Amino acid sequence: MLGANEVAGLAVRAAVDTVPKSAGASARFTVSLVLGPDAAPMEEKDLVAAVRQRLKAEGPAVRYSIDVERCAEGTSRVQVCERVEAVTLTARDYDVLGFLAIARRLTADQLIALSFPGRHITIAYRRLAMLAAARPGGGGYVRQDFFFGARQERAKVAAWAVTNDGYNAVAPLLPYLRAYSTTPAVVANLQHDLWLNDLFVAMATARGAPVSPGDLPFRWLCDTDRPIAFRTLDDNAAFKTNLLRPDAIVELPFAQRRIFIEAERGTHTISPMSTMNAGATTMKARRYGLFVAAPIGAEAQTTAYRSTFPDGYRPELLFLVHSEWRRVHVLEALQAEHAKDANPPDFPVHVMTFDKARELLTSALPAGWTPAFSVARPRAQARPAAEKSVAATGLKPAPRARVRVGDAQLLKDGFNVLLDELKSRGGTKDLRAEVRSTVRKTREFIVWLVEGAAAGSSKTWSGAEKRQTRPTVAPSDEGNRKSG
């Protein structure tokens, strides 16, 4: 007779044979236990506990749900199959995918600050797990990449990123995104990117949260795998190819500014002994100076920057450093290089720690910008073309009516039918004063709503619009008037 331990052993072998090695920790599998006459009588909860314990210790590291079925014929057997759950993307899901597509990689804490403020951490993890297990095209919408933290604490850190399906779902809503590889990043890049993305989160949540990617008044470009190549004339009048690899580019359409960010965690030399050290801080600054100011043609009519970015935005360079010590030394090295240049470029260069960089970038946001909080109004899954243009232009879309014209008209017709029925029964003269007042206010609201829907207005009803523009009438007469 098979006991609980023997059945658990069958479950482990079936899981090892069925679960692919590429399955992530968020993948879900169903373990179906079919117990025949050869299985000893046992409590179902004890059997499930034994199987779970054995799978956790010896089985693949995925999520399991266990079903138990008893059969009067045949031998006991175990079947393991993957649970493919259909997930309907909500407005917040599109926001989460949009932020991941923009920033490439974010931790759960960063996503909570953007889209789940004030919510329990389990809510965010539960939704991310569902997006990871959705598997619309074989890989889910998101995935996890892991690394161990610094300072020898060996704490496992999870970074979330979009898969190909996740990127394709949100790319039409963010037109300025450019295609990039969604393959997992190496550990060094993960740590670097998450540190840099703290700055992105600080900018996005500077005026409150939750916030939608389409509402941001800036563009954040992380084209680390797409270097900027340009050619300049060297001292021998020969063309030389240069490469720039900014860690991020922040575009501020309202301020007409473009800020190139170089995030340095102290792994590069500040002032190199040789010009062959292309990663040194002063060498980066020199290449940016050539990119912005040096002519690229024999006629000296334009620069590489104006050719690459013809929109006229003012370029700036920000070195984001991890400590005050490095900030001081980088600043001294750049000032020394600047003093050697007989014709230095007119190009602002900032060297800042995280707090100062956050102040610089958040102060550049439009003074009147506030996020359209998603909790204040429901949003459709597919955003209209007017909202899609936000990311491309940096401008807010034109306000939309809060209801459709047809819905407002239906409300007006229903109100008129009720008034007709009320009039046939004696009108509103016998109603209490507060009831007549409610009828009057309801009619005023419906008229305002119909007119606003027809005009595409998104203004908020204050309760006094019609009464300020029309002469006052007796409540009894008003209550018998039809809406419209």
**241-254 confidence digits (pLDDT tens):** 888 999 999 999 99
Whether the pLDDT of residue 480 is over 60: the answer is: no
Residue 50 sits in a domain of what CATH number?
Answer: 3.30.2320
**Side chain identity at residue 278, one-letter code:** A
What pLDDT sits at residue 137? 59
What pLDDT sits at residue 297? 65
d(CA 250, CA 353): 17
Highest mean pLDDT among 57-71, 206-220, 300-314: 206-220
Return the closest-CA partner of residue 257 out of 319, 199, 315, 311. Answer: 315
Q: What is the mean pLDDT of residues 13-22?
A: 86
- Entry field: residues in the chain: 484
**pLDDT band at 420, cuts 50/70/90?**
confident
**Side chain identity at residue 392, one-letter code:** A
What pLDDT sits at residue 295? 79
196 and 316 within one domain: no
d(CA 14, CA 5): 14
d(CA 216, CA 103): 13
C-alpha angle 185-191-194 in degrees, rounded to nearest 5: 95
419 and 301 within one domain: no
User: 187-204 vs 91-103: helix axis angle to the nearest 10?
Assistant: 120
Are 8 and 60 spatial neighbours (Cβ–Cβ below 8 Å)?
Answer: no
Count of structural domains, the chain: 4
Return the closest-CA partner of residue 288 out of 316, 321, 253. Answer: 316
Please check whether residue 422 lies inside any domain of the structure.
Answer: yes
CA distances, 60 to each of 67, 135, 159, 331 (Å): 18, 19, 21, 51
* Final residue in a domain of this structure, among 143, 175, 209: 209
pTM flag (> 0.95):
no
Residue 109 sits in a domain of what CATH number?
Answer: 1.10.10
172 and 287 within one domain: no
Could you give the percent of the chain with pLDDT greater than 70?
A: 75
- For 319-338, how does the pLDDT look when each residue is reduced to its tens digit (9 = 90+)? 999 999 999 999 999 888 88
Please check whether residue 370 lies inside any domain of the structure.
Answer: no
C-alpha angle 19-191-105 in degrees, rounded to nearest 5: 60
- The residue whose two tokens read 């899901």 is 93
Please check whether residue 300 lies inside any domain of the structure.
Answer: yes
What pLDDT sits at residue 315? 95
72 and 39 within one domain: yes
Please check whether residue 37 lies inside any domain of the structure.
Answer: yes
Residue-number span of the structural domain to which 15 is assigned: 4-82
What pLDDT sits at residue 82? 79
What pLDDT sits at residue 458? 56
For the chain, what is the mean pLDDT? 79
* Strand 156-162 versus strand 219-221 pairing type: unpaired
